[in-house]
Amino acid sequence: QVQLVESGGGLVQPGGSLRLSCGASGIIFRLAAMGWYRQAPGKQRELVASINSGGSTTYVDSVKGRFTISRDNAKNTVYLQMNSLKPEDTAVYFCNVVRNKIDYWGQGTQVTVSS
């Protein structure tokens, strides 16, 4: 059974930083491509960043230079370091993995950027 558990969200002021973590089980983590998505109220869920098994990364344009995705295969964990946060980054952030063509999601963690 695939399980993804996110943590690390919270309330932060504009310009601040947060690090999200996602622990995975039920998959061969070192072989899995992992993604971080976010969904703001009234908006569609969007892919923020991804990292493949080889460590190659992609980012949506709006977070390039501010967010960094990384992975620790020994801990079965993927991270999203978020710096220079803006109010428009406010959303629920979800961890994602695709296994056997099925999307699996964590429960989400709320990130609120506000003064």
DSSP 73: T
Helices (runs of H) and strands (runs of E) counted in the chain: 0, 11
- pLDDT value at residue 73: 97
Per cent of the chain over pLDDT 70 is 100
For 31-64, the DSSP string reads G--EEEEEE-TTS--EEEEEE-TT--EEE-GGGT
Q: Quick: pLDDT tens for 35-66.
A: 999 999 999 999 999 999 999 999 999 999 99
Residue 61 phi, psi (nearest 5): -55, -35
